[in-house]
Amino acid sequence: MELAGEEDAFAAREAESAATDVTVVAPGLATARGVDSEHAKQLAYTRRVVELVGRCDPDIDAARAVVEAASIDREGTIAVRARDIRSLTDVSTTDAERRIGSALVDRGFGVDLDDPDHELRVYFSEDACLVGWTTVEGVRDFADRKPTDRPFFQPGSMAPVDARAFVNMAGAEPGARILDPMCGTGGVLLEAGLVGADVVGVDAQEKMASGAQVNLDHYVGSGEVLRGDATSLPLCDDSMDGVVFDAPYGRQSKIAQHSLADLVGGALAEVRRVAPRCVMVADRSWVDEAEDAGWEVEQVFERRVHRSLVRYVHLLHR
């Protein structure tokens, strides 16, 4: 799996929603088994999946030797695409493509750089080179849903790529029921809905609830947004499969009767009532509050957004 971004552990954890035995083996690269191809297309931090041919040292001669020795049960045209992951090696990718491509030509393949039948990926990373045939290309259309381009926009909206990663970690897939109890403009709901989940949003402000519904109708065409209190959700026990929410950052809640701590603690208790797992994003650790609410804290990722903001991504299950 070719990972995106700079945080491999985070990308690998998201990839676990579409595969098993995901293991980071070099910067920007992970191996996995049992990949669900349709789900893998929807991952935010996996660019593509390749069928592994072999692994060697990050050297062109070694990579060519892997290709020469491989059993290849394919016919048609090929293209070789080489990448120096994060510029960690001094390998010339142009030379790598030319020399490895010539090895395939020697084996009877034709070359078509524009529309090949098969694409061989050669990844050079720190202390390793992985070679494989492309099987899944990620659908990376997040720029089409920039918060500023949506019908309803408010400052502070989460980037679509991050919202997609969070909903995947929460179990979003066709038929799953995903809740955002502090949905704001609906960015989390959009990404969950676009991968096929049934979505429900709740927000304390009528303006935000109605605006999120407009965005949801525009991009997804289904889903429901309600005005309500995250500490007293209008939902039955165990009515959701997963929850994602972005807790207020460094400010008091817009719900006048709650302090920030009361809001977050109360919301954590409520979402545990309605779903077995939750991804909570915040500007600080809320581990103690999560445990007090009865959650098991699986993992917390600290992700720097910019100099003054670190997002704490809490993965919780009951």
pLDDT digits over 147-190, tens only? Answer: 999 999 999 889 999 999 999 999 999 999 999 999 999 999 99
User: Are residues 301 and 158 located together in one domain of the fold?
Assistant: yes
Q: Which of 115, 137, 159 is the last residue of a domain?
A: 137
Strands 128-137 and 46-56, by their bridges, are: antiparallel
199 within some domain: yes
Q: Are 300 and 312 in contact (CB under 8 A)?
A: yes
Indicate which CATH number applies to the domain containing 196: 3.40.50.150
36 within some domain: yes
286: amino acid identity, one letter: W
CA atoms of 160 and 187, how far apart (whole Å): 7
User: Are residues 190 and 270 located together in one domain of the fold?
Assistant: yes
52 within some domain: yes
Q: Residue 220: phi, psi to the nearest 5?
A: -115, -45
Burial class (CB within 10 angstroms; exposed 0-12, middle 13-18, buried 19+) of 215 = buried
User: Are residues 56 and 177 located together in one domain of the fold?
Assistant: no
142 within some domain: no
264 within some domain: yes
User: Are residues 52 and 173 located together in one domain of the fold?
Assistant: no
pLDDT less than 50: residues of the chain: 252-253
- 309 sits in the region (left: phi over 0; alpha: psi -120 to 50; else beta) called beta
Around Cβ 219, how many Cβ atoms within 10 Å? 19
User: Are residues 259 and 286 located together in one domain of the fold?
Assistant: yes
Using a cut of 0.85, tell me whether the model's pTM lies above it. Answer: yes
User: Are residues 65 and 184 located together in one domain of the fold?
Assistant: no
Around Cβ 237, how many Cβ atoms within 10 Å? 8
Angle at 126 between CA 120 and CA 129, to 5 degrees: 25
Q: pLDDT tens digits, residue range 254-301?
A: 555 678 899 999 999 999 999 999 999 999 999 999 999 999 999 999
User: Are residues 264 and 186 located together in one domain of the fold?
Assistant: yes
What angle do the packed helices 160-169 and 187-194 form, to 10 degrees?
Answer: 60
Q: Which of 137, 160, 188 is the last residue of a domain?
A: 137
253 within some domain: yes
Indicate which CATH number applies to the domain containing 9: 3.30.2130.30
User: Are residues 112 and 229 located together in one domain of the fold?
Assistant: no
User: Are residues 286 and 192 located together in one domain of the fold?
Assistant: yes
Q: Are 188 and 209 in contact (CB under 8 A)?
A: no
DSSP for 137-152? Answer: E----GGGG-GGGSSS
How many structural domains are present in the chain? 2
User: Are residues 231 and 273 located together in one domain of the fold?
Assistant: yes
281 within some domain: yes
CA atoms of 310 and 287, how far apart (whole Å): 15
State the pLDDT at residue 250: 65
State the pLDDT at residue 259: 85
State the pLDDT at residue 249: 81
Q: Are 244 and 168 in contact (CB under 8 A)?
A: no
Angle at 127 between CA 27 and CA 137, to 5 degrees: 45
Q: Among candidates 210, 155, 174, which has minimal Cα distance to 41?
A: 174
Q: Which of 119, 137, 155 is the last residue of a domain?
A: 137
User: Are residues 312 and 177 located together in one domain of the fold?
Assistant: yes
Burial 253-286 (b: 16+ CB within 10 A, else e): bebeebebeebbbbbbbbbbbbbebbbbbbbeeb
**Residue numbers of the domain that contains 265:** 147-317
Residue 172 β-bridge partners:
none
Tokens 């259309």 sit at which residue? 141
Residue 78 β-bridge partners:
111, 118
User: Are residues 14 and 163 located together in one domain of the fold?
Assistant: no
